Structure formats: C-alpha cells, structure tokens
A and B are shown apart, each in its own frame.
Chain A
C-alpha cells in the first residue's frame, strides 16, 4: 500500500532563516506530487505541483521554491523566510491526470515563523 511521509512535523524558525521541508511517497511509481499551504483561515492554496523528476509548476508567485530530485521525493524550500510563510504545509500525491485523480495527503508540517 502507498504511504506518504512529511518531516519535520513542526518547525519554528526565525524570520530570514532558510527552510527545507521534505515529502516522500512509498509504494508507488511516478506519482504526481503537490505542495499546499493551509493558512489560519482554513482554505488550502496549491503552491506547486510536479508530474515528474525535475518538473515543477508554480501556482502562485511567492518566497518559496520546490524541487523533485527523485521520483518519490518532493522538497519545499525558502532562502529567507517571511512572517507570512507561517502555516500548515501539506504534501499530496496522485496517480496521473486520468481517471478520478484522487489526491492523498501527508500528515503536514506546522511552520511558525517568528
């Protein structure tokens, strides 16, 4: 069966520091991968998605970047964090674009920027 992991689970970082959040998927090959941010207002905002190694699509301009160095690894980064980067970051995967394309979510990383 497929599982998705995220770490760390929680993170407190000062403004201006770098960021690296990791997401890995097990039990599947060539998944589509997604990074979402859930701010305090509850809605989910799609940040990046990837259909393959090295292929990243950015949904909104921002202070963050994403990379996919391996098939089942998706990394969210920042060189200098802003206060507004605080939130709950969720990684998700799906199998291609055909069919029902259900997305399955990881447990999330709670980021607090002080």
Chain B
C-alpha cells in the first residue's frame, strides 16, 4: 500500500543544520517532493528529486534519496528562524500521478 511517514517534530538552534527524514513504501515512485507550509498558508514546493538520483542540492537545501531503503531526507544548512514551518514529504503514485503526503514535520528554530 501507499504510505509516507515522517517524525512529527524537530527542534534545532539557529545556525545549525536541520535534517528532516521521510520513509515511503511504493518502490515504483518516480518523483519525491518536499513542501513547506507556514502557519495559515498553502504548501510551497521546495524541491523534488527523480528516483534515479541519489542527491540534489539547491542553495541551502540538500535532498538525499536512498532508494534501496526507501528513505528520503531534507537537509537545511545554516537554519534560520524563517525556516520554522511544517515540512511535508510526498511521493508520486506512478499510475495516476497523484501525490501521497506524509503527516509533516514541524521544524522549530530557536535563536
């Protein structure tokens, strides 16, 4: 079945790196995504990775994909207070293209 799991909370200090982890179950997923949701707002697409890639870097964001273990992570370097938000991992169901979302990880950045 389809399932995406994330830990619910993460707290870091400003300037440290944050690592948000996600596991998924559908090994045929072709794309995996990270979204950010600030309070009361919609979801903002941060980045995505194709399943034949191991890593993707975009400025302070690094996505690592371990396809064998079905594990995805998002690393935020030099975390700032403005990074405080809920981060959602999502996998794309290949047959119909719909996205399956995790429950979201609430990142709290302390000064």
The chain A residues found within 8 Å of chain B, CB to CB, are 6, 32, 34, 41-44, 46, 49, 59, 90, 92, 94, 97, 100-108, 110
Partner of A101, one of B41, B42, B92, B103: B92
Q: How far is the CA of A105 from the CA of B40 in the complex (A)?
A: 13
Interface Cβ pair total, 8 Å cutoff: 49
Q: Does B24 contact A (CB under 8 A)?
A: no
From the candidates A59, A92, A108, name the one contacting B41 in the complex (CB within 8 A): A108
5 nearest A-B residue pairs (beta carbon): A97-B97, A105-B42, A105-B43, A44-B101, A43-B103
B contact residues around A6 at 8 Å (CB):
42
CB atoms of B104 and A101 under 8 A apart? no
Q: Which of B34-52 contact A (CB under 8 A)?
A: 35, 40-45, 48, 50
| New contact pairs (4) apart from A44-B88, A101-B92, CB-CB < 8 Å | A34-B98, A42-B104, A49-B98, A100-B31
The answer to whether A101 and B31 touch across the interface, beta carbons within 8 angstroms, is yes
B47 smallest CB distance to A (angstroms): 10
Asked if B99 is at the interface of the complex by the 8 Å CB criterion, the answer is: yes
How far does the Cβ of A87 sit from chain B's closest Cβ, in whole Å?
Answer: 13
Contact between chains at B101 and A43 (CB < 8 Å): yes
Question: Taking the nearest CB of chain B, how far is it from the CB of A107, in angstroms?
Answer: 5
Bound CA span A3–B103, Å: 26
Specify which chain A residues have a CB less than 8 angstroms from the CB of B42 in the assembled complex.
Answer: 6, 90, 105-108
Jot down 14 A-B pairs with beta carbons below 8 A, ordered by A. A44-B88, A44-B101, A46-B98, A59-B98, A90-B43, A94-B97, A100-B48, A101-B97, A103-B99, A105-B35, A105-B44, A108-B41, A108-B42, A110-B40
